[in-house]
Chains A and B, each alone.
Chain A
Amino acid sequence: MSTTPLIHVVDDDPSMRGALLRLLDAAGFDARGYSSTGEFLLHPLPERPGCLLLDLRLPGPSGLDLQAALQQRDIRLPIVFLSGHANVAASVRAMKAGAVDFLTKPVKRDVLLDAIGRALERDAMQRRAREEADLLRARFESLTERQRQVFERIVAGRLNKQIADDLGVAERTVKREREQVMVKLEASSAAELGRLAELLRHPAAG
């Protein structure tokens, strides 16, 4: 798995697309071009850091349509929109749906690279969060049934004694399982366990 970011450029205008790819290449990125929404979706998306530079108006489904489709598929590639002309309604829609930026052609290098930088930052952050969540989930998977029951009750704010009553086990057993949960999830306090629980419920948050 390469760590060099890969920028996906979707633009139906060959010369515009070519120029963008060339600029990104010169700026040290890997870049890949697509002439339509469909072409992008048909392409397998490599597991690499990156972002999407997306033309608003495209033959067939538009850039906004692609943004919605990616969201549905839970593909969280950050999107920078590029539009042939300022279009307030479309830019509002795009930003509300989570676009990093909405740029108008012709776009200055600094503005473009800055937007791409921010998109990659967001991508990295999302990846980190996702990795964390994955790690946490793996750790969570390693808990036994009993330990999971104890964990749920701890984060719900119940005391050891109450948990023991709930589960019909000795309070000592609860204490031992609780220590195991702390070790397996690498947590140091009940408060931290609460945060982890939140992460497990909403993996991308933060």
Chain B
Amino acid sequence: MAHALVAALLLCCGALPAHAAGDEAQVLVLYGLDPFIPSFLAMDKAMREDLVAATGGNVLLFDESLDSQRFSLETLEPELAALFGMKYQAQHIDVVVAVSRTALDFFERHGEQIWPGARVVYVGFLGYESRPSVLPPGASAVLSILDVAGTIDIARRIQPGARRIVVVSGTAEIDRTAEQQAREALAKRHERVPVEYLTGLPLPELVARVAAEPPDSTVLFLAQFRDRDGRPYGAMEAARAVINASRAPVYGAAEPFIGLGVAAGSVSSYETKGRLVGEQVRRALAGGPPDPRYTVLEAPNRCVVDARALKRWSLDAQRVPGDCEVRFADVPIWREYWRQIGLALAVILAEALLIGALLFQRRKRRFAEQAEHGLRFELAHANRLAVAGELTGAIAHEINQPLGAILSNADAGDLLLDSGKDERDKLRDIFADIRRDDLRASEVIRRLRGLLGRHIVEREEFDLNDVVDDLQSILHAEARRHGVAFDMQAAQEALPILGDRIQMQQVLINLVLNAMDAVGEVPELRRTVTVSLAKGDNGAVLAVRDRGQGIALGDQARLFDAFFSTKSNGMGLGLSITRTIVEAHGGRIWVESVPDEGTLFQAELPLAAANGASAPHLA
């Protein structure tokens, strides 16, 4: 089964046999060192992008690594050569990209056997490795140059007052080559400040040594792939530790060190180098002898400065040479695009002004509305307090009644216990009554609590009949106090409305107290107030009727105006607030009055959506 699958794969994707590859370009990248060194990665990426873009994806890339930095090529070379020979026996290679001198040397020794007919593009790092005296036939080279001299020059310009120069490098071959560059460059400059070379120090010692360096020194980090004990290092490992530990500014000549935190350096861009390599590979693929003008290309060096590092080491940005590229700076966008930004800002400002003006107008209106709303809320609260004040006597009565009963029951219980007789049944009755009266008192408070506090207006569904039940006892007590015959009936059916229950209590109390006032002066037989709730055509109808003296026709129209009152001690708020509340609930209120006959107030409130209409009335 697995066999069949492999066979099928081979059949359908027949690219594997070299000679069946058609006109696809076959390129091998041979790394002399660890291919995952950041600068190699950057370069590799740029090269591949260039090749893929230029060939329309019609390129097949292979990678091999000698990793001579970490493994001894001298002992492994025969075996590696044999291995590659077997690997590439059936795989034709058009171009070998030899990255580093080690790879180029390996190609010169074994290339003809392993990759017959392949042309070579050498990617070199002058300064880290020596320049080959002769290139193989048909070869071309892309070189970057370790510019230690340029980097020292930049360091001296940024930090002219430095008292010492410290050069850090390792013991690997390329470390030593780089150090040699530095020695030559510094000798040429005839520096008067002392120079110290820290060569191949193990990392802890190196870090301690660098950390002890005063801030007015200049540290030049070259490379450390290996220390004097033979311990290998990752490409960035030592650099990172030195940069982090140093109180003195650190400079470096390789591009990846810039982002790592060195202050500045003369570096060549590996991205540029990668594109140049891609270009050379394409020339080689095209065949024919290499154009002598392009046989050796040098990736240019340029000064790059890290703005964050300048800040960290308090270096004077004014001293940075004018041709340096400043990376990681805070404000370059503004400098670069000031025209566009200025225009955008102007547009935004204009829009903001317009929006601001509109918002200001809206706010003004909102404030006015809020002020009015707040005032009405305050008035409603004041009216509720006034109403509660009027009802104090009735409330006290309704609470004292059960409290009195509780006390007397408890006293009776005491006496029964003192009598020494077994009166358990009587005591049980007493406890039952005490409990009932206690609930009754707390019920009075519960039902009226909302009236007394400053409450947040709610919007919930409730049965208007509940409001009548809430106030039944208290309004009856009040009626007794006024010597008024009072009758209040809830409706037979449920009257669900949407709104605030406390406000509806307020409406009912206002209307009933008004009615009781209205019958205050009439003969005793006519002192009646009747309240009824019913379901009308357009919703719930609350009717409050009195047999008082009636309201003069001229006054009826103004009855609901604020501060209009027919009473000598009236504030003229009750009916105004009542109407406000009723209208806030989507209802209306009106009055019919016949002088010397009586008055009928009716409030009509819309019922809540159908779901409540069929609910049973449980009151």
Contacts and interface: CB of A to CB of B under 8 A. Distances in A.
B437 A15 contact: yes
A107 B393 contact: no
What's the interface size class on B, roughly?
Answer: 20 to 34
Contacts of B411: 23, 26, 108-109
Contacts, number: 83
Given A15-B436, A19-B433, A106 B481 contact: no
Contact of A15 (B396, B397, B414, B433): B433
B522 interface: no
Contact of A26 (B397, B419, B436, B440): B419
A106 B414 contact: no
Interface in A82-99: 82, 84-85
A85 B404 contact: no
Contacts of A108: 407, 411
A18 B405 CA distance: 8
Contact of A23 (B412, B440, B481): B412
Contact of B397 (A18, A84, A109): A84
Contacts of A59: 480
B260 interface: no
A25 B436 CA distance: 21
Contacts of B416: 26
Interface in B409-441: 409, 411-416, 419, 426, 429-430, 433, 436-437, 440
Interface residues of A, number: 23
B400 interface: yes
Contacts of A57: 397, 480-481
A112 B403 CA distance: 15
A105 B407 CA distance: 9
The SS class assigned to the B binding surface is helix
Given A22-B426, A84-B400, A15 B415 contact: no
Contact of A106 (B406, B433, B480): B406
Given A15-B405, A18-B433, 20 more contacts: A15-B401, A15-B402, A16-B405, A19-B408, A19-B412, A22-B426, A23-B412, A26-B411, A26-B415, A84-B396, A84-B397, A84-B404, A85-B393, A85-B397, A104-B400, A106-B400, A106-B404, A106-B407, A108-B407, A108-B411
Interface of B: 393, 396-397, 400-409, 411-416, 419, 426, 429-430, 433, 436-437, 440, 480-481
Interface of A: 13, 15-16, 18-20, 22-23, 25-27, 57, 59, 82, 84-85, 104-109, 112
30 contacts: A15-B401, A15-B405, A15-B436, A16-B401, A19-B404, A19-B405, A19-B407, A19-B409, A20-B408, A22-B430, A23-B408, A23-B409, A25-B412, A26-B413, A26-B415, A57-B481, A59-B480, A84-B400, A85-B396, A85-B397, A85-B400, A105-B404, A106-B400, A106-B403, A106-B404, A107-B404, A107-B407, A108-B411, A109-B408, A109-B415
